[in-house]
Structure 1
């Protein structure tokens, strides 16, 4: 707060503005905003995955599935052959057993940790409900496949980079 003491040569009106109340109001508003903003913005702290496009290495032992569907039902294709959930489970178990026996059985996997089981590559239509794709993932995991991945089409003009 400013105060004039004594006599001055100016006999005109005082034109200085007292800014102390303005600063007080601004500080109060700043404190209010600092308190209310974290309350309004409620988020769960997550570490989201980084997006990357890697070229798919197609091995003959990998299983390629295509999943389509709508509100009426789901359709899964093993290669180009349509299968229902029971046939999918039976074919997956047979395929996995065949691939394990081809490399020498379970003992070969225990002896050589570099051996890899076949993978499942799922191509899901954009309009397919999640329950169709989720059911396919569940069925393949029940059969014993540990690696299930999704095949996507990168946007035009995007570069393939490793993160």
Structure 2
């Protein structure tokens, strides 16, 4: 830091002393950093409460998993046998009345037309299918 030398002895110095200003700014900066709330990256979830009166046995797992596949020609298969869209809807309605509701696995062929897949998805939505999953999504991955 350069200092201005005065030529006369009694002349006042014209430069301002910035050291106290810098000290005050540093103190304010530290106070600001301390008062900032800690940022948490937590996802808040409402977890179920463990009921001590409930049975500790896990719910029975239904082994029936119905599989709907669509081949490149647009044929819809229900557990390996070809069905029409009307019969598919009837099967879906029957599965939704079962207790517990079985899972539905949808596996369209990568070469299947999207129109047919969309029709099957619309039918499953109208049938109000509760448990549905897509199988074989890795076939659609593009590298």
Structure 1 length as normaliser, TM-score?
0.42
* Bigger RCO of structures 1 and 2 (CA < 8 A, at least 6 apart): 1
Larger radius of gyration: 2
